[in-house]
């Protein structure tokens, strides 16, 4: 952080802690160096599933939402089967 993000715009109002922009930049640099590309792909799949699980439907009884849930369940099943995950 001290080398790349020297400007004040990367800090919160207390001028000590990094802001969200700085945190995202640091995370991207960390991923690029330390996390395998296959792992990043798995993380993206999991992130998509987690966002789907957190979704609040406008109309939970609609056909569209039922299809959304079925697709989400298919993604979960696929992830489990592809990576031999058991719960």
- What pLDDT digit, counting tens, does each position of 11-32 carry? 999 999 999 999 999 999 999 9
Rounded distance, CA 26 to CA 3, Å?
11
- Which pLDDT score, from 0 to 100, does residue 52 have? 96
- Contact, 34 vs 43, CB < 8 A? no
Identify any residues that bridge with 87 across adjacent strands, giving them in sequence order.
none
- Which pLDDT score, from 0 to 100, does residue 4 have? 83
The pTM (predicted TM-score) of the whole model is: 0.70
- Which pLDDT score, from 0 to 100, does residue 77 have? 94
Return the HEC string of 11-73: ECCCCCCECHHHHHHHHHHHHHHHCCHHHHHHHHHHHHHHHHHHCCCCCCCCHHHHHHHHHHH
Low-confidence ranges of the chain (pLDDT < 70): 87
- Which pLDDT score, from 0 to 100, does residue 39 have? 92
- Which pLDDT score, from 0 to 100, does residue 80 have? 92
């Amino acid at each position: 952080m001290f080398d790349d993000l020297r400007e004040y715009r990367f800090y919160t109002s207390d001028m000590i802690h990094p802001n969200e922009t700085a945190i995202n930049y640091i995370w991207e640099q960390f991923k690029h160096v330390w996390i395998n590309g296959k792992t990043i792909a798995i993380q993206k799949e999991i992130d998509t599933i987690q966002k789907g699980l957190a979704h609040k439907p406008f109309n939970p009884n609609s056909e569209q939402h039922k299809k959304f849930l079925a697709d989400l369940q298919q993604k979960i099943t696929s992830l489990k089967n592809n990576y031999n995950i058991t719960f």
